[in-house]
Amino acid sequence: WMPLAVVEERCNGCGLCFQVGCAAVVKSERLDEKTGRPLAWIDPLLCTGCEICAQVCARRAILFRDEVESAGEIRET
């Protein structure tokens, strides 16, 4: 089991991942600088790693947590 995480630099707060209805995907306190919309954040304790949110993300902003951590792009909210 490996939870997913959001690469904030890629997320623009479009909200597609929120529409999946997963309890692990929530609105972050951080806002996108251009759109002003809240960025997505994935609670690692609730994420089952099903990847449905990643599949709907057009900006490829959702990756497995270890991939995001290795790139140094993960922040806790």
Per-residue pLDDT of 1-52, as tens digits, reads 789 999 999 999 999 999 999 999 999 999 999 999 999 999 999 999 999 9
Would you say 63 and 8 are in contact if contact means Cβ atoms under 8 Å apart? Answer: no
Complete DSSP assignment for 12-52 = ----TTGGG--TTEEEEEEE-TTT-PEEEEE-TTT-----H
Would you say 61 and 40 are in contact if contact means Cβ atoms under 8 Å apart? Answer: yes
Question: What pTM, to 2 d.p., does this model score?
Answer: 0.85
Identify the CATH number of the domain defined by range 4-70. 3.30.70.20
